[in-house]
Amino acid sequence: MRQLDDARRYEALIAHDDAVAVVALEYQPPYDWPAMLAHLSARATPGVEAVTEDGTYVRTLRIGEHRGAVAVRPSNEHGAHALRVELSASLAPALVPLVARVRRLFDLDADPRVIAEHFRGDATLSRLVATRPGLRVAGAADPFDLALRAVLGQQVTVRGATTLAGRVAALTAERLAAATPHGLTHLPASAERLARLTAESLQAIGLTRARAECIVVLARAVTDGTLPELAGAGECADPLSFIRRFVALPGIGPWTAEYVAMRALRWADAFPAGDLGLRKAMGGISEARLRQVSESWRPLRAYAAQHLWASL
């Protein structure tokens, strides 16, 4: 995807005092903020992230030794197409990597014109994109946290996975020194802390034995360097290599691997063809047929998936 030039990617630091810094991050319109909020709200880990009544997304974040919280909402200043990001002053020294993570989380470098042109020749996708041109693919501010959430979501409802994610955070995650104004209390669960746990300790909060073992193995694969892509900001030069290493872990299937590649690694061509929702959106076709059809959607199949899910 075309990226905005550096001068526009993270404008200037437009305010800074002892409590908060504010940054405006521009994007190419249109942007379907309600759709993005609905997605994030349903999956918000209690104590770690939330969506407020006024339509602001808030979450805690750890970048190196810096810890704090961010609050993100559309900016109404100067008529710009931008998101306003308020961050704890404690995170200001990590401004550049923080901005990169927020841009990845909200898919701010996507160009709706490029997406629309790419799908112009496809009868189904061209109609869906024209109907909702501002849809974006949600990313991840913390790649390991997203991978953990994906594992917790296997074979359970979104609400059930959210409850389990909150329990894991309360059990293992580092607490903030003080609760935020939005009631956030914990940083995202870290691979380092989870890698030191036993499966039995996770079973005690309601996880199945298989799920608990999978999470511990995943955490250890991140800490021992097997999956370094999940240890930082989600950069990945070879998504297919990551998927091969990821599915080699016990309990990780193709759907989870593609979903994590789509969101945590921002791979624009990720496509979980086995997803029942995608097959339903295409009229109930088989996984094999969906894979065949999706070949014409490369290299933007993640956006095809997003529009098909939204069509349901």
Active site residues: 275
d(CA 254, CA 149): 15
d(CA 183, CA 204): 25
| Contact assessment for residue 83 and residue 75, using Cβ atoms and an 8 Å cutoff | yes
d(CA 87, CA 85): 6
Residue 26, SS3? strand
Q: DSSP class of residue 303?
A: H
- Computed over its alpha carbons, how large is the radius of gyration of the chain? 19
Amino acid symbol at 140: A
Beta bridge partners of 22: 15, 86
| Contact assessment for residue 106 and residue 136, using Cβ atoms and an 8 Å cutoff | yes
d(CA 10, CA 27): 10
At 39, list the tokens.
């997605």
| Contact assessment for residue 49 and residue 40, using Cβ atoms and an 8 Å cutoff | yes
At 145, list the tokens.
């946290």
At 224, list the tokens.
């021992």
